[in-house]
Structure 1
Amino acid sequence: MKSCIHIYCGDGKGKTTAALGLAVRACGCGKKVLVTRFLKNDHSGEVNAFTRLSGITVTPCGQSFGFFSRMSPDQKKEAAIYYSQMLESTINKAVTENFDLLVLDEIMAVCNFGLAEERRVLEFLSSRPEGLEVVLTGRDPSEKLVEMADYVSEIRKVKHPYDRGIPARQGIEY
């Protein structure tokens, strides 16, 4: 079976939710799933749920740097080293441990902010094992990523509670 590359992008809520829904579906069919969440901490409902499921491995996020726009130049350098290493570690684990599905959550933001090289993501995608399905999430994928992908789904915001001053709610947005 040919594996595919999925992109969930856009400015709407639901990119991660869609990717993790696919992870649950794959797990339910006996597939081995690796989820790596960039730019996020581990204090999220899905991380708690996945610890209860055998078949889904979540890469722990050992360091949090906060919002990119609030990082100092030194924090940005430190974050770039950390996320580049996290990407390499994830790629190595996905390949050597024979995962069936890899979710790279917020990888587009990491690349767009210069915290990891998109060139490395593209190299990995073009040389990944034949059976490894890969999901990429985030805003503004490059033309090269879109061209390489088999699925591209754009999630567009029409309305969002945040626009009315309602903060992110546990169990819904995180």
Structure 2
Amino acid sequence: MADQQKTERYKARQQKVKESIDAKVDAAQIEKGLFLIITGNGKGKSTSGFGTIARAVGHGQRCGVGQFIKGTWDCGERNLLEQHGVNFAVMATGFTWETQNKEADTQAAQSTWVECKKMLADEQYDVVLLDEMTYMVNYGYIELTEVIEAINNRPASQSVIITGRAAHRELIELADTVSEVRNVKHAFENGIKARKGVDW
């Protein structure tokens, strides 16, 4: 008898949850491309962005990626996604603390941004990932107003993802969805080397 009561109470709770979720689904009727930001100090922001690109590709959608602060080293996501028609624009200068040349970094960022703006203006692209874009804005390599303008003027059905730490508050206000990745623990802090296939 006790087991039956537990089962009935469980079913009643789940029915309430279902009704609440169904109501939210019914209320969400707006069709538009989304602007997503994945920020915070934790590991996994780029991984999440690339996961969304992989998902979109799996649905037969056309995608583009702008990679900022990346070097010329092997990139597992790029190796895979280029085989499936994903267009990449890569800054290819490496981390700013390695180059230590603001002028060269700015030029490389601007060159990559030119290619990204073409994708953001092209209605054939369903999803565009601007990986590590937050740094470009914060370092002054790319003007915030330019980024906002490109996002606001993109095709209505196109979704955009920006990743990186310390996303500017104006981008956060503009975004439809903002996720913050929090650092709890990181292997690198304990002297563990970055691992191929997991970290890069």
Q: TM-score higher than 0.5 here?
A: yes
Residue 28 (structure 1) aligns with? 58
Is 2:35 the counterpart of 1:5? Answer: yes
Work out which of the residue numbers 144, 166, 175 in structure 2 matches 1:149.
Answer: 175
Which structure has more helix as a fraction of its residues?
Answer: 2
Conserved? CA contact 1:44–1:170, under 8 Å: no
Higher mean displacement: 118-127 or 153-162: 118-127
Q: TM-score, normalised by structure 2?
A: 0.79
**Which segments of 5 or more consecutive residues in structure 2 lack a partner in the other structure?**
1-30
* Alpha-carbon displacement from aligned partner over 1:48-89 (angstroms, at most 9, x marks no partner): 1112223x222244x41x3323443xx211111221221122
Structure 1 position 38 matched with structure 2 position 68: yes
Aligned pairs for 1:68-147 within 5 A = 68-72=96-100, 75-96=101-122, 98-147=124-173
- Structure 1 residue runs without a partner (length 5+): none
User: What secondary structure is seen at the aligned counterpart in 2 of 1:51?
Assistant: helix
Given that residues 34 and 99 in structure 1 are in contact (C-alpha distance below 8 angstroms), is that contact kept between their aligned partners in structure 2?
A: yes
Q: How many residues align?
A: 169
110-119 or 20-29, which moves further after superposition?
Answer: 110-119
* Change beyond 3 A, Cα 1:60–1:108: closer
**1:97 deviation in Å?**
6.0
TM-score, with length taken from structure 1:
0.90
Q: Distance in 1 between matches of 2:174 and 2:122?
A: 23
* Mapped contact 1:50–1:58 kept (Cα < 8 A): no
Runs (4 or more) in structure 1 with deviation over 6 Å come to none
Q: Which has the larger radius of gyration?
A: 2
Letter in 2 for 1:124: A
